Amino acid sequence: MTCLKKEIALPSRAGVGSLDFNAYDIMAPRKPGATPAAAKNGARVKQNNVPPEGVYLPNNNRLAPHMRSPDYVQMSTAAAITLGVMPGKMHRCSCTRCLNLLLSYPEGCRANCAYCGLARHREADRDYADRNFIRVDWPAVPMDQIVEIVAEQGEATPFHRMCISMITHPRSDEDTVTVLRRWTSRIDPATVPVSILSNPTTMTRGDVQQLRDLGADIFTVALDAATPEIFDRTRGKGVASPHSWAKYWEILEDARDIFGREKFGAHIIVGMGETEHDTLTLVQRLVNMGGHSHMFCFFPEKGSLMDHLPATPRDQWRRVQLARYLIDYRGVRVEHMRFDEQGRVSDFGLPKSEMDKIIDEGVAFRTSGCPGKVREDISACDRPYGDSPPSNIASYPFQPVAVDIRKIRHQLGMEKPGEAYVEGEELEV
């Protein structure tokens, strides 16, 4: 088993119409189709009612068992390999530092986000436990088994952080609390701090407070879309999904008040039709509030409502990834940067010598997320190949080395004289 999968949508150098960015007009999702009654709300799984037997690996020629949180949770392939409940290896990574858990129900997520492999409209095609999030499969594991393994590892655990992802489900608020209690009853949150990837649609300020009181360390909100229009088109009314921009901001502001500086953040996907200026203005707004942004590169997940659209061209992604790092960790402000008439970054606001140092250090191009135990700007959550194929990495789940930096500079159009990138050379590392 491996975290790599057959590639169906390789990112191009340029987007549709030879643009080097994904423009709003072309990034429209398909409309979701109707789901037959026999497949709705996890009906197949509940009718088969196959009892679970320990770890369930997706797509393993077995009927999906009837598993429910809080007794079962799903986890990323990288986390399952690192925990030791699944064999496998990851391209150029030894393991992940974040134990990403996902609440799990036969009914699956009741939202319909256009870019997401877990979206409700997919229930006609695949049972919930066989759907992947973006690119990566999520095995299901008994919660007690997870706690037992990590508690036994103690200080020696490879995990620097645990994260509970709440999907949109009527039980997710209550079950998140139970999963958190089960964890903290055996594992000191000072040894492995806990992040919450929230589901604002069903939450109140009181829920946010309760999670903080029970020992959660960081609270994040997956805004995903950078503007209200794109939010509505990809996660709201545009795709018959229940989310609203206003509710997400309400809970994000509650998190700022309750969790405090550096302890809250928002996810943003780059390349769904926003301009680079839109995204970086949002990044600055989050920094002004005292939080951070965690960034993802749009990938057209097969079976999603955006699977016909182009992955984010790499130069758009690199510009935004680099500019976001400068705003989040190097004190540059969006007002110091310059943008062209299409909202693309044309000047990052720092002298060339400083830019060279930051680019060559490579941290700006690593996966962004909640910190681990290495340094504040290195995420524990490295999500190997969760937003790109390994042949054309968007978020590096490892420290980029010289050959990777040559490729990144090539993508940015900032190659150093005498250090040209040779296509494919990084694959020989």
Select from 115-123, 136-144, 276-284, 359-367 the region that touches ligand SF4 (CB under 6 A). 115-123
- Least spacing, CB of residue 388 vs ligand SF4, in Å: 18
Of residues 111 and 258, the one with the C-beta less far from ligand SF4: 111
End-to-end CA distance of the chain: 21
User: How far is the C-alpha of 367 from the C-alpha of 133, rounded, in Å?
Assistant: 17
Name which position in 78, 83, 116, 295 contacts ligand SF4 (CB under 6 A).
116
Q: Residues 3, 93, 99, 109: which binds ligand SF4 (CB under 6 A)? A: 109
Q: Judged by CB, which is closer to ligand SF4: 118, or 378?
A: 118
Q: Phi/psi zone of residue 87: left (φ > 0), alpha (ψ -120 to 50 degrees), beta?
A: beta
Applying CB under 6 A, which part among 62-70, 111-119, 337-345, 401-409 lies near ligand SF4?
A: 111-119
- Residue 100, SS3? strand
Nearer to ligand SF4, 109 or 322 (CB): 109
- Nearest by Cα to 296 from 383, 402, 168: 383
Residue from 76, 96, 168, 379 binding ligand SF4 (CB under 6 A): 168
Nearer to ligand SF4, 120 or 160 (CB): 120
Question: Contact between 111 and ligand SF4 (CB under 6 A)?
Answer: yes
Contact window for ligand SF4 (CB under 6 A) among 45-53, 64-72, 110-118, 329-337: 110-118
Single out the residue of 377, 416, 424, 423 nearest to residue 399, CA to CA: 377
What per-residue string of b and e applies to 320-352 under the rule 16 or more CB within 10 Å gives b?
Answer: bbbbbbbbbbeebebeebebeeebbbeebbbee
DSSP H stretches of helix in 109-188: 143-153, 172-186
Tokens standing for 305? Answer: 């409502």
How large is the C-alpha radius of gyration of the chain?
21
Binding residue for ligand SF4 (CB under 6 A) from 57, 75, 119, 370? 119
Which residue has 């950078």 as its token pair? 226
Number of residues that bind ligand SF4 (CB under 6 A): 8
Burial of 209 (0-12, 13-18, 19+ CB in 10 A): middle
Q: Check residue 272 for interaction with ligand SF4 (CB under 6 A).
A: no
Residue 321 Cβ vs ligand SF4, minimum distance, rounded to whole Å: 21
* Smaller CB separation from ligand SF4, 249 or 339: 249
- CB 115 to ligand SF4: min, Å: 7
DSSP state of 2: B
Binding flag, residue 327, ligand SF4 (CB under 6 A)? no
Report the residue from 118, 162, 203, 306 that binds ligand SF4 according to the rule CB under 6 A: 118
Name the one range near ligand SF4 by CB under 6 A: 9-17, 106-114, 285-293, 353-361.
106-114
CA angle 97–103–108, rounded 5-degree value: 130
Q: Binding to ligand SF4 by residue 113, rule CB under 6 A?
A: yes
Q: Which of 78, 163, 167, 320 binds ligand SF4 (CB under 6 A)?
A: 167
Residues, the chain: 429
The nearer residue to ligand SF4, 90 or 109, going by C-beta atoms, is 109
Stretch near ligand SF4 under the rule CB under 6 A, chosen from 7-15, 24-32, 51-59, 112-120: 112-120
Nearer to ligand SF4, 3 or 269 (CB): 269
CA–centroid distance for 84 within its chain: 22
Those residues with Cβ within 8 angstroms of residue 385's Cβ, 6 or more apart along the chain or in another chain: 3, 4, 90, 91, 135, 136, 393, 397
Using CB under 6 A as the binding rule, whether residue 239 contacts ligand SF4 is answered as no
Which amino acid is located at 333 in the chain? R
Interface ranges with ligand SF4 (CB under 6 A): 109, 111, 113, 116, 118-119, 167-168
